[in-house]
Amino acid sequence: MPATMSPKTPDYDALLGAHLDTLRAEGRYRHFLTLHRQPGAFPGALRADGRPVTVWCSNDYLGMGQHPAVRDAMIAAIREDGAGAGGTRNISGTGRHHVALEAELAALHGKQAALVFTSGYAANEAALSTLARLLPGCTILSDADNHASMIAGIRHGGGPKRVFRHNDLAHLAELLAELPPEAPKIVAFESVYSMDGDIAPIRAIAELARAHNALTYIDEVHAVGLYGPGGAGVAARDGVEIDVVEGTLGKAYGVGGGYVAGSATLVDAIRSFASGFIFSTTLAPAIAAGALASVRHLRGSDAERTAHQERARATRAALRDQGLPVMENPSHIVPVMVGDAALCRAASDMLLDEHGIYIQPINHPTVPRGTERLRITPTPLHDDAAIAHLAGALATVWDRLGLRRQKLAA
């Protein structure tokens, strides 16, 4: 205890450390792997000690974080605009790249306006909390598997919320029917769910919401850039009109930042009342310029999207051939189920240390206990040799850990 503290001072480190000990005891303590992602080498990278790894768990789904057009745009912006934005959007922080990026995102989603945030998390938190606060008596109907950032936004909004069972239309219909038709309400859900890779019944949810006079709010964080015309997402692919689309610039677009797109008035209301937007320094100009280059590139090119889907199919097939427990889904995400936090950690460690493969274990609370998994994210840059190496390494690790494989008959 430092000399300045009285004996009555709580032992803060001991109180906090007890929580960390619980995580360690359950095998859920998060270890960060330091990676040197060298331009041009992705999905290859170097560990801190110089050992090479193949990254199989990045959300840089298309490798756009290494794309020459994106890097060049960022370097040019640093030269021409400097390092930082210099302020919040309201106080000197609005630059030409932010304005151009918002116009591009609005056009991508066929919306009147878009607003950029420092992250997708900030976008969800700010947008949902602000809508809940501004719309009198607004009930938010939230899918049970919604991301932590949506849950935080709904909570901070302080209004009534109803949670419907994941992708359960009948339950959503039941909850909607309990609310007065004229009362404001928002149905908030995702398109591609990041951990299971399943996709919401977007059309049916939108129809149900419309029938009950509810606004629709969709998180397309794991879909923008990857699905739909120009990468506008799954709702756009399926031709479904959604009132508010939220996305990230940090996953398929490979840079960082988040956004919402919607009607001019709705976006203006969030711009004018969302604390998480108003009181936060704007994205650096280079981030906005890089994201803009990435969005523009993917609006004009299907090649990356097509290759991405093909690589995901090839990876899935190779793992299935080894009898590995791949969760089936209609997206690009390939979850391989382990079902135990310590085994999941052990599998990840063995892959890294013995096979040069990096897949972060996914444990509770990110997924329910008993469904711990390795979440594999193929990209267009994982070639056949990398896929074969992955499948062989996983099979070896599974056997060494006594995990179940069910090799399909030839």
The residues, any chain, with a CB within 8 Å of residue 109's CB and separated by 6 or more, are 232, 233, 236, 245, 261
Q: How far apart (Å, rounded) are the C-alpha atoms in residues 273 and 399?
A: 55
8 Å CB contact between 129 and 277 = no
Q: Which residues bind ligand PMP (CB under 6 A)?
A: 119-121, 124, 147, 149, 190, 194, 219, 221-222, 248, 250, 258
Q: How far is the CB of 295 from ligand PMP (least distance, A)?
A: 14
Q: How far is the CB of 211 from ligand PMP (least distance, A)?
A: 26
Cβ closest to ligand PMP, residue 258 vs residue 276: 258
Amino acid at 355: H
Cβ closest to ligand PMP, residue 166 vs residue 320: 166
Cβ closest to ligand PMP, residue 119 vs residue 142: 119
Q: Which of 80, 116, 81, 83 is nearest to 100 (CA)?
A: 116
8 Å CB contact between 116 and 257 = yes
Handedness of CA 4, 5, 11, 12 (dihedral sign): negative
Alpha-carbon torsion, ordered 126, 268, 221, 252, to 10 deg: -120
Is 251 in the active site? yes
From 111, 161, 185, 251, the catalytic residue: 251
Q: How far is the CB of 397 from ligand PMP (least distance, A)?
A: 26
Tokens of 192: 């591609």
**Residue whose tokens read 């929580």:** 19
Q: Which of 127, 139, 134 is nearest to 185 (CA)?
A: 139
Q: Which helix H or strand E contains 157, and what residues bound it?
A: helix 148-157
**Phi and psi at residue 313, in whole multiples of 5°?**
-65, -45
Q: How far is the CB of 350 from ligand PMP (least distance, A)?
A: 26
Q: How far is the CB of 119 from ligand PMP (least distance, A)?
A: 3
Residues with a known catalytic role:
251
